[in-house]
Amino acid sequence: MVKTNLTVISHFIFLGFTHYPKVEIIIIVLCLLMYLITLLGNIVLISVTILDSCLHTPMYFFLSNLSFLDIWYTSSALSPMLANFVSGENTISFSGCATQMYISLAMGSTECVLLSMMAYDRYVAICNPLRYPIIMNKRVCVQIASGSWMAGCLTSLVETVSVLHQSLCGKNIIDHFTCEILAVLKLVCGDTSKVQLIMLVISVLLLPMPMLLICISYAFILSNILRITSVDGRSKAFSTCAAHLAVVVLFYGTALSMYLKPSAVDSQEIDKFMALVYAGLTPMLNPIIYSLRNKEVKVAVRKLLIRNSLCALLIHSNK
C-alpha cells in the first residue's frame, strides 16, 4: 500500500480512451483482433518449432523465445483492458497494477535485448556461414537467451520498485489503459528526479544501444547480400531484411519516442496510441514477418496440419 496524508490507495482507475467515446469501441475491436492474431501466430510458431526437428536451429530457438514473451507482453497490456471494457469496471488493485507494470516492462526490456541478439545471429549465419555452427552452438544460444531474460527482468524490477516506492498524492486515476510506468509516475507528488535518472540510464542501455547493434549487423548483412549474383536471390534477401528492419524501427521508434523524449514534450493521448503500437501491433507482426513467411515454417505447419488430420481420421474410424 502507498500512504500519503493518511490516504491509503488500494486500487487505481483507468481513464483509457474515454476521451474518445465515438472511437473507443473501434479501438477495443482492433485491440481484440490484434490480441487474437498475436496469440494464434505465436502459439502456432512455438508449436511447430517444438514438434518439427527441422526447426531445432538457433534462429527458431530465438524466435520461440520472442513468441513466448510477446504472448505475455500483449496479454499483460491488452487482456486487462479488454476485460475491463466487458465488465464496465476500469479498475485494478495496487498489487495488480504492480504486477502488470513489472510484466510489461520485463517483456518489453527482454525483447529489446533479444532482438539485437537475433540480429547478431543472422549476421553470423550470413557473413560467417562456415563458422556459424561453432559460434552459435547450443550452449551459447541458451546463454544469450538467459542473459536477455535476466537483463529484462532485473531492469524491470528496479524500475517498478523505484516508482511504486514513491509517495502518491492520494490520486488513483491513471490517464492510460494500462499501468504504464510513465503514467503512474505522474501520480507521484514528491521529487522524481532520481527515478527519472534511473529510467533514463536503463532506457539508454535498452533502446539506442541494442538498436545500434541491430543497424550495424544489418549493414554487414546488406553488404554481403550485394555480392549475391542471382537477381532473384538478392531481391528476396533485400525484402526479408527490409521487413525485419521495418518491425525493428516500429518497435524501437515508438519506445524511443516514449521513454527518451524531452520533458517539455508531453502528450498523454499520443503516448496511449504509441503504447498500442509497441504492446499490440509489433507482437502481432513479429511472427508474421520473422517466421510465418519462411518456407521452412510453412512446410512445418503443413506437416502438422496433415498429421493432426490423419490422427482425427484414425480416431473417427476406430469409433
Q: CATH code at 89?
A: 1.20.1070.10
pLDDT at 275 over 60: yes
Domain count across the chain: 1
Would 302 be classed as within a structural domain? Answer: no
Asked if the structure places residue 2 within a domain, the reply is no
Whether the predicted pLDDT of 54 surpasses 60: yes
Please give the pLDDT value at position 226.
80
Is 4 a member of any domain?
no
What pTM value is reported for the model?
Answer: 0.87
Structural domain range at position 232 = 11-295
pLDDT of residue 315: 62
Q: Let me know if residue 319 belongs to a domain.
A: no
Q: State the pLDDT at residue 6.
A: 38
Burial-class residue 35 by CB neighbours within 10 Å (0-12, 13-18, 19+). buried
Q: What pLDDT shows up at residue 100?
A: 93
- Beta-carbon neighbour count of residue 128 at 10 Å? 14
Q: What is the pLDDT of residue 223?
A: 86
Pairing of strands 11-14, 2-4: unpaired
Torsion, Cα 292 297 299 301, to 10 degrees, reads -70
Task: Write the pLDDT tens digit of every residue in 144-177.
Answer: 999 999 999 999 999 999 998 888 776 788 888 8
Please report whether residue 305 resides in a domain.
Answer: no
Whole-number average pLDDT of the chain: 84
pLDDT of res. 4: 42
pLDDT tier, 201 (very low <50, low <70, confident <90, very high otherwise): very high
Residue 288 pLDDT class (50, 70, 90 cuts) = confident
pLDDT at 263: 62
Q: Per DSSP, what are the bridge partners of residue 7?
A: 4
Is position 66 within any domain? yes
Task: Return the pLDDT at 5.
Answer: 43
Q: State how far the Cα of 228 lies from the Cα of 66, in Å rounded to an integer.
A: 29
Looking at residue 3, its pLDDT comes to 45
Asked if 62 and 105 count as a contact pair (C-beta separation under 8 A), the reply is no
pLDDT for 1 equals: 44
Is residue 34 in a domain?
yes
Q: Which residues contact 266 (CB under 8 A, 6 or more apart)?
A: none
Domain-located, residue 267: yes
